[in-house]
Structure 1
Amino acid sequence: MNEAPLHNPLKQDGSSNRSTLKTTLLVVLALVAVASIGYSIYAWMQNRQLSNDVTNKNNQIATLQKQQTPPAKTTPTPPADPYAGWQSATLNYEKATFKYPSTWKLTNTSTPNGTTGNITPGSDQVKLSSPTGLTVTIDTGVSGLGDGPYGNGEVLATPITTLGGNYFLGFGTYGAPTNSSTTSEGIVGTTSTRYATWPTGKNTSSSSGKTYTVISMAYYDASSHAIIKPVSDFQSDSSYNDALLIIKSLSY
């Protein structure tokens, strides 16, 4: 007699439970994986935002520091000394000091009591000759002068500072034909017109009145007479600027 197989409900229920457990485990793992990926993405985005914020803050701090930091002070370069390497000398009687280049020749024929014998303590007669022949002369203790320093009329009068005052270097027709455009010399005067006077002496005196300082530039011939030339010849001479500097250097 064949017996029918017995039904085993426990075996079937066990397989079902294991399948359900496996499915649940897979779902949990999937959720964990999704959550991990999501967190990683979130953390990366947060870190990126934080990095951007830090960079922006650093840039703002640097900008504020630049705005608050005063610019570095620059020390201006002093202008070159036009008298560098020049020699210095002092007039015997008027006691004014001047400078001149070593390439110029200095001749001093100053005289006690002056050429007329009534100048106290004496008259300075200094001649400074350039390599080109342009000559600056300084005569002090001069008295009894006639016409103004520019003679018959000024051709050109340029402002110049010397002996601690403001004067003019005037090129006039003194020694040249009236109304001529040529001149024999440029002389320092008190104004720019024909009726200018010479700078007044400070340390010399005359029994007959005031003494003056005659400062001039000229070209001289072998007989020490001023050569008549147009002003342009003076100004184009390579020694002209040095001659101006010599005159400007005179000071008490």
Structure 2
Amino acid sequence: MPVKLSWKLLPLALGGMAGGLVALLVVVYVLTAWWSKPLFGFGAGGPDQPIDFPHTVHVEQAGIQCEFCHRNVTDGAAATVPAVEQCLFCHKTVNGMPAQGEEHPEIVKLLAHGGLGADGMADPELTPEPIDWERVHRVPDHVQFFHEPHIRYFTQTEEGRVETLRRAGSYNLPMSSPPEPGELVEASCAICHGKVRAMDKVKQERRLKMGDCVDCHRDNDAPTDCVTCHY
């Protein structure tokens, strides 16, 4: 004979389905927080920037060190990007009119942000304004990350820490001689950011998720208490 279901069971069934859905969402959230890359905002090649800034030219070819532009990275929480005035420190000389007489469009854009024409001279028709760079690397709002203690830890030249940087593999530290301070800083940055010196367009290479952070802290005998990063 057919089984009759009581209407009294309907709220229980709906409640169970809702509870199961909530539990599934929590599991997906935790797994995403631990392992996966961000779902949105990071394309495979990195975001387009208002001005192309090839690190291949500035770092690999010109030999500019990370902390020359990202000056707060060894002293504060955020690495910071340079102000237009800092870029113009070089580009008033390396301007948009090279010897062959062809304007370099990206340098011309930079000069315009500083109120300068392609020749590096003040242009009254241009208004100085900051560059609205697109952010590439981001951690959730409930995570506190300070660059300074991480850079300070890895740039102390005890052999074990230098070997940790060598094992990270993103930056090839010299084997025959002690690394220079700038090399140690770049190798430290490369642990999370990858080999930026070889990127024409900066992209996110590491997940920068909880699993990465916890594994690194364990490998380097750093605290793994929740309040270390979440407060």
TM-score scaled by length of structure 2: 0.25
**Greater Rg over alpha carbons, structure:** 1
Name the structure, 1 or 2, with higher relative contact order (CA <8 Å, separation 6+): 2
Bigger fraction of residues in strand: 1
Structure with bigger helix share is 2
Using the size of structure 1 for normalisation, the TM-score is: 0.23
